[in-house]
Structure 1
Amino acid sequence: MSFDRHFLNVDDFQKAARRRLPKIFADYVDGGAFTETTLKRNGADFERIALRQKVLTNLKDPDISTLLNSTRYTLPFGPGPVGYQGLYRRGGDLAIAKAAAKAGVPFVLSTFSIAGPETIARETGVAPQFQLYLDIDPDVNASYLSQCRKAGVDTIFLTVDTAITSVREKDVRNGFRAVDRITPHLAMQFATRPGWTLDMAMGPFPQVEIIKGREADFGKGALAQSGSLAGRLDKNLTWETIRTLRKQWDGKLIIKGISDIKDAAQAAKEDIDGIVLSNHGGRQLDHGLSTISLVAGIRQALGCEKSLYVDSGFRRGSDVIKAIALGADFVLMGRPFTWAVTAKGERGVSKLFQLLKVETETTLQLMGLSSLEELKAEGTSALRFLDKE
């Protein structure tokens, strides 16, 4: 079966990624907090929103470009930040960044990424945007910002919903972040995934580049560093933290991890450029609300002056359309692009961009619309809410 016929949607990439990855890493990417109720709601709640079909309209060639923070991008979606992508496939961070640059969308690099911002900028010719996790050591945070400036990063996403790390039971069972070396049990897992194992054997075991030179504090190798990085997160984040970072960073500043109306209203008052409506893919608060159910309310509280990104649970072009109609400006997808790069490298990521682009354009035109601007003008009138009928 050809590549094009074998991969037709996000689920196909997920299945292929799980076949390739050792269980400890596959479960880390896929898992959620405790009962995974929030994780499940993120996907299920898209089913509660139907799309209006309109015919006999004067359709033009579809235009799904979007203006975001004064920059026009060709697509209204892109890769969300996910840690350790270079551990799932060697060079994974870089492969996604290259595909994103070719697709004309931003690439958001995680603090926990294997490749650092300077490597991404040098290898792709395009500076990444950067998802910042604040460390307990101000000197470490200063080094993060310094590396971002050297790389030409213009936008930082400060993540605020992980100061308290939730329990992901799959990770506990697998020992993720509890092992700092390859144990006999891990070696057995690796042996059942020869493609991944051979890939990792092609060079030194991956390490988080942005903390290079600080191995005494963070450990050596991504397995040890994953636990150290998570254990060193600053747990005392407040609105004053945002104001302090604003003084330290001259570029665009986005708060990632807001999912409460009152928090969004406060964000509207702050000197920031936007927020990401996110529940961290269902990996933090269990029994929380899905992000798609919150878009309209968060937009109203945030106002129209600041950008509204949304992530968590997005898998289809129709999901993107629903978010835009509800008031979002841009959709970030974390797991889907991680699955694509794990399964098929840069080629897989480019294929996923193509599939999601076709889904988004087709959905838009079957609704009788030709552009995202027309969709935004229609707003929620382009939707039908099934639980209200």
Structure 2
Amino acid sequence: MSLERKYQNVDDFAAAARKRLPRIFADYIDGGAFSETTLRRNREDFDLFALRQRCLTPLEPTPNLTVTVADRVSKLPFGPGPVGFLGLYRRNGDIAVAQAAAEAGIPFVLSTFSINGLGTVRQATGVAPDFQLYLDEDPEVNAAYLESCKANGVERIFLTVDTAITSVRERDVKNGFRSVDRLTPGLLWQFMQRPLWSLDLLIGGFPEVELVKGRAEFGRGAMAQAGNLSRRLDKNLTWDTVARLRKEWSGQLFIKGISDPEDAQRARAADVDGIVLSNHGGRQLDHGRSTVALIPEVRQALGPSLALFVDSGFRRGSDIVKALALGADFVLMGRPFAWAVAANGKVGAAHLISLLEKEIEITLNLMGLSSIDELRREGRKACFQINSNSSLHGQQYHDL
């Protein structure tokens, strides 16, 4: 079966990835906090919004999807967000996704929890990635992170602030992710059921998190390092932390994990370049609000000048169009790229980008639009909130 027929959407990649990955890693990608209510809301709430269809308008043959966010041009309004341990799902997974992004002309954000490090990714792509920073409890470790960023030409740091308190992801607890640091009989059985993934492990050896490789306090091997990285997260993050990092880092700085308008308003005074509206993909606060529903309120609180990235729950090109119409500048996607690279490596990641690009183009044209700039000018006229009290037939819409 051809690639185009086998993978027509994100769900196709997810299904293939689950067949290839041991359950411990598939569940780590898929899972959310506690009852996974926020995880579900992130998807369900896209159905609260409808797009406006327009006909008989002159259109460009190919819509212009280029955007400029915080003084950087991207050929598409979305890109791979940071995902930990991509190299566990597919050998050199971080490199594969970064290469696909670089070839598409879109940014790639590397996680502190990545298998491939900053220097390795830069050498493989010729482009310095952006960096998602998790602050460690040890200031010397954080200084080493920043030094690595500077040495490798990183221009943007995304300080993640919503994981100082680690939530419970019940799938991970059952599987022992972050608590198992060696091969157990249960893990061995899981690995034996996934021969292709296991063969890759035997050939290449069990990977390590390159950024902390050789540091005894983090242990050896990605499983042990995963647990130690999580346990060592700075639990005392405050706005003073942001202010100190702002003094230490001269490049662009974004706060990732803002999901409340009051916090977005405070970010305006923090001398940052923007925020990522994120609930960590439903992996932190259970029974929280979806990010797509929060976009208008957060944009109003943030103001027009700071960049507003958004993530959590995005799967379709129409999802991205809705986010941009509601006030976001750029969409980051985590799980979809984890699934794509796990299923089919760099080819999978590149095909995912192509699928989403085509979905956005078709969606815009059916809305009578030829560019992202036109979509933004239309704004809330192009995206309506469905009145939940209306019947299925004759639904009423109103501007947000």
1:303 shift after superposition: 0.4
Greater Cα offset, 315-324 or 57-66: 57-66
Secondary structure of 2:110 counterpart:
strand
1:387 shift after superposition: 2.5
* Residue pairs, 1:1-389, within 5 angstroms: 1-60=1-60, 61-214=62-215, 216-387=216-387, 389=396
Q: Structure 1: any 5+ residue segments left out of the alignment?
A: none
C-alpha separation in 2, matches of 1:300 and 1:223: 42
Greater Cα offset, 204-213 or 137-146: 204-213
Query: C-alpha deviations, 1:343-362, integer Å up to 9, x for none?
Result: 00000000000000000110
C-alpha separation in 2, matches of 1:126 and 1:2: 31
C-alpha separation in 1, matches of 2:166 and 2:361: 38
Length-normalised TM-score, structure 1: 0.99
C-alpha separation in 2, matches of 1:110 and 1:387: 39
Query: C-alpha deviations, 1:300-355, integer Å up to 9, x for none?
Result: 00001110000000000000000000000000000000000000000000000000
Q: How many residues align?
A: 388
Letter in 1 for 2:281: G
Q: Structure 2: any 5+ residue segments left out of the alignment?
A: 389-395
C-alpha separation in 2, matches of 1:203 and 1:322: 42
Length-normalised TM-score, structure 2: 0.96
C-alpha separation in 1, matches of 2:180 and 2:79: 32
1:201 shift after superposition: 1.3
C-alpha separation in 1, matches of 2:305 and 2:50: 28
C-alpha separation in 2, matches of 1:192 and 1:305: 51
C-alpha separation in 2, matches of 1:123 and 1:94: 7
2:393 is aligned to none
C-alpha separation in 1, matches of 2:85 and 2:108: 15
Secondary structure of 1:294 counterpart:
helix
1:281 shift after superposition: 0.1
C-alpha separation in 1, matches of 2:126 and 2:177: 34
Query: C-alpha deviations, 1:259-288, integer Å up to 9, x for none?
Result: 001000000111100000000000000000
1:86 shift after superposition: 0.2
1:64 shift after superposition: 0.8
1:204 shift after superposition: 2.5
Secondary structure of 1:308 counterpart:
strand
Secondary structure of 2:17 counterpart:
helix
Secondary structure of 1:254 counterpart:
strand
C-alpha separation in 2, matches of 1:4 and 1:201: 30
Query: C-alpha deviations, 1:122-175, integer Å up to 9, x for none?
Result: 111000000000000000000001111111100000000000000000000111
C-alpha separation in 2, matches of 1:85 and 1:72: 26
Q: Percent identity?
A: 63
2:50, 2:386 within 8 Å by CA — same for their partners in 1?
yes
Query: C-alpha deviations, 1:97-136, integer Å up to 9, x for none?
Result: 0000001011100000001111111111000000000000
Secondary structure of 2:38 counterpart:
helix
Secondary structure of 1:269 counterpart:
coil
Letter in 2 for 1:187: L
1:191 shift after superposition: 0.2
Secondary structure of 2:255 counterpart:
strand
C-alpha separation in 2, matches of 1:151 and 1:249: 14
Query: C-alpha deviations, 1:359-378, integer Å up to 9, x for none?
Result: 01100110000011111011
C-alpha separation in 2, matches of 1:384 and 1:251: 37
Greater Cα offset, 31-40 or 375-384: 375-384
Query: C-alpha deviations, 1:67-112, integer Å up to 9, x for none?
Result: 0111111000000100000011110000000000001011100000
C-alpha separation in 1, matches of 2:37 and 2:91: 32
Secondary structure of 2:293 counterpart:
coil
2:213, 2:220 within 8 Å by CA — same for their partners in 1?
no
1:386 shift after superposition: 1.0
2:7, 2:13 within 8 Å by CA — same for their partners in 1?
yes
Greater Cα offset, 200-209 or 153-162: 200-209
Secondary structure of 2:171 counterpart:
helix
1:38 shift after superposition: 0.1
RMSD: 0.7
